[in-house]
Amino acid sequence: MNTLLSIITVTKNDLPGLMSTYESIISQDCSLDCVEWIVIDGESSDGSVDYLKALHPEFDLTYISEKDLGIFDAMNKGAEKASGQYFLFLNAGDILHNDFTLTSIFPYLLKNSSKIIAGTVSLKWRDILVSGVDISPWVPHQGAFIHRSCFGNRCYDHDLKIYGDLKFWMTLKDDGLFLVQRVELEIAQFTMGGAGNNPANIFERLKERNRLSIEFNESLLKIIARTGLFIALYFSWKVFGSRFYYKLIMRS
């Protein structure tokens, strides 16, 4: 059967997260003959590769373990290896929403009518869980099924540490390919606390995000407003702590 969906997982020294992601895939209440799982491992030393070697899933599994230039370089490697019509980037620790997620999304993918088919995701930090997040006007990559034609000569910018996925969406928009079909389905759960949303990295995030604003000719007013917001978030973290900070950004 032709491959309909390539699930691409980037991981490094996160065996528990990798196991959770795998379990969420094999638990799907449907045939997975048209699915492949591609794992790009950044030369883990925690037993992740041995774990992958021991797996014998009903779907195709491909993995490599080698040094990379960061998460977006690894995502590019996954896209290069993928043979599916659509790609879903579900990194280690990300899990599908429930056992019926793929059953629910397959009819949309089979129609092959949209460049991007996007649902919502839930965000989790410790005991805090917020559902129905769509980050409009953009889409969360854990909830976005991207048609392979969106790549072609495009890739994620591995010089970016945090906003490589946003730059990819912005590039697609400039090329007239950010054509999103939004569906009322929860796709995945994403665990907060990584480098991209850690409050300790907030000014690195601001610098990188404003760099994209300049590159894509966003208004000076947007840059000023965003800078003020990030400064406010920084001080909210310093004054009220991480729990308050994560509740704030997860619900905004």
Domain shared by 155 and 201, yes or no = no
Confidence label for 1 from pLDDT (cuts 50, 70 and 90) = low
Q: Is the pLDDT of residue 63 over 70?
A: yes
Q: What dihedral do alpha carbons 67, 52, 12, 40 form, nearest 10°?
A: 50
Domain total of the chain? 2
> pTM here?
0.96
| Range 28-37 average pLDDT | 96
Angle at 144 between CA 217 and CA 197, to 5 degrees: 65
* Predicted pLDDT of residue 118: 98
pLDDT in tens, 196-205: 899 999 999 9
Residues 226, 115: one domain?
no
Q: Which of 57, 11, 15, 69 is nearest to 32 (CA)?
A: 57
Looking at the fold, whether 170 and 200 belong to one and the same domain comes out as no
The mean per-residue pLDDT over the stretch 37-41 comes to 98
Mean pLDDT of all residues belonging to the chain:
96
**Where residue 82 sits, what CATH number does that domain have?**
3.90.550.10
**133 and 177 share one domain:** yes
152 pLDDT band, cuts 50/70/90, is confident
Same domain, 12 and 78: yes
The pLDDT score that the predictor gives to residue 137 is 95
Segment 138-156 shows an average pLDDT of 96
Rg over CA atoms, the chain: 18
Asked if 40 and 97 sit in the same domain, the reply is yes
Read off the pLDDT of residues 181-195 as tens digits, 9 standing for 90 and up: 999 999 999 999 888
Same domain? 75 vs 180: yes
Write down the pLDDT at residue 194: 87
One domain for residues 184 and 198: no
Write down the residue that tokens 């034609």 correspond to. Answer: 149
| Residue 111 and residue 139 in one domain | yes
Strand partners, 10: 40
Are both 52 and 127 inside the same structural domain? yes
Q: What is the pLDDT of residues 92-134, one digit of tens each?
A: 999 999 999 999 999 999 998 899 999 999 999 999 999 999 9
Give the range of the structural domain holding residue 226, as residue numbers without chain letter: 194-252
